[in-house]
Amino acid sequence: MRYFALFALLIGFSGCATYFIPIESFKHQFNGIDSTHLRMVESNVPVMLFGVSSYSYFANPIDTIDCVDANNKQVRLANSPSIEIRFTENNDDRTIFYFDTIYLQDSLIVGAKSRFIPSLRDAIPINSVKLIEVQDGKKDFHYVKKKK
């Protein structure tokens, strides 16, 4: 029991920090970023599959993410393929996307839920969102090179 408590404590301290994006800040950061403003990027594949070590996809042009920590202190995160964003809607439904894949299309937030199945996309109404959390999932994804 003692070792279990120590293990649980270590897991808690090594977890990923969660930051928050106020809804108005989110709208400001994504103002004008729709499907026509995406850029081609290339990311590594953490475990080489079928001889493939990287893949290309369209990503939003945001380089840094303005957010706040649990104490409401301003934090700026560098955007990367490992950043995940979680939207909690008014009905408590949660949707998780990779941050660099999201954009606004009219009043919808559109994003990818999977790195390996690009067609696994979803959209949620921005007006139904009550909480936005962002976190570096610490997955071994990084940009190989950005293309214009």
Q: What tens digit of pLDDT does each residue of 50-73 get? A: 556 778 889 999 999 999 999 999
Domain ranges of the chain: 17-146
| Long-range contact set of residues 51-60: C-beta below 8 Å, sequence gap at least 24 | 54/144, 56/147, 57/101, 57/112, 57/118, 58/101, 59/100, 59/101, 60/30, 60/33, 60/99, 60/100, 60/101, 60/102, 60/103
pTM of the entire structure? Answer: 0.81
With bands split at pLDDT 50, 70 and 90, how would you rate the model's confidence at 136?
Answer: confident
